[in-house]
């Protein structure tokens, strides 16, 4: 079991590094070509999105996978919590969520533990990333916004 756990962590870390490398490469290519990056999803810089992707892989993907719904977890794709003000997602990450809830017409009873061990910069980056990846984007989240809700 110990080797399996190590292998899972290694795969997640490798996947996070791959995402970071892809985002970095995209930024470099954009600079070399002289084009402005496509920013419909988020005006956040590649460094913030790369950090957010890494934080997501290491702390969120175990339950939220690729953003699709499960029997106990709501879909991040199209989630009202992500479409609204960033404070909604920040509060859920800081405080967790439990009990029965209705999300996109589905009744869910899962438990999301608090992730308040993450730093303000990690929470800001992951909220920026998940809003860009699974929702309509929105402005990048600042560390000050997280601190104000902590």
Distance CA(61)–CA(104), nearest Å, equals: 20
Which residues of the chain are under the pLDDT cut of 70? 1-43
Query: For position 13, what pLDDT does the model report?
Result: 60
The CATH classification number of 2-149 equals: 1.10.760.10
What is the DSSP secondary structure assignment for residue 66, as one 8-state letter? T
**Is the whole model's pTM more than 0.85, yes or no?**
no
Domain segments of the chain: what residues? 2-149
The strand pairing partners of 27, in sequence order, are: none
Q: Are 123 and 136 in contact (CB under 8 A)?
A: no
The backbone region for 96, taken as left when phi is positive above 0, alpha when psi lies in -120 to 50, beta otherwise, is left
Q: What are the two backbone dihedrals, phi and then psi, of residue 58, each rounded to the nearest 5 degrees?
A: -85, -25
Query: For position 8, what pLDDT does the model report?
Result: 54
Query: For position 85, what pLDDT does the model report?
Result: 92
Query: For position 37, what pLDDT does the model report?
Result: 45
What DSSP line would sit under 67-116, residue for residue?
S---SSS--STT-HHHHS-HHHHHHHHHH-B-S-EEETTEEE---B---T
């Amino acid at each position: 079991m110990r080797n399996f756990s190590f292998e899972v962590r290694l795969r997640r870390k490798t996947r996070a590094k791959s995402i970071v490398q892809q985002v970095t490469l995209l930024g470099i290519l954009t600079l070399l070509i002289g084009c402005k990056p496509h920013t419909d999803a988020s005006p956040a810089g590649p460094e913030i999105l790369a950090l957010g992707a890494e934080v997501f892989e290491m702390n969120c993907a175990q339950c939220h996978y690729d953003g699709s719904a499960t029997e106990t977890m709501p879909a991040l794709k199209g989630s009202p919590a992500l479409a609204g003000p960033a404070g909604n997602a920040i509060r859920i990450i800081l405080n967790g969520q439990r009990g029965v809830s209705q999300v996109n017409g589905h009744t869910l009873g899962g438990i999301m533990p608090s992730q308040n061990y993450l730093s303000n910069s990690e929470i800001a980056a992951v909220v920026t990333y998940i809003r860009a990846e699974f929702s309509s984007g929105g402005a990048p989240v600042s560390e000050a916004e997280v601190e104000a809700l902590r």
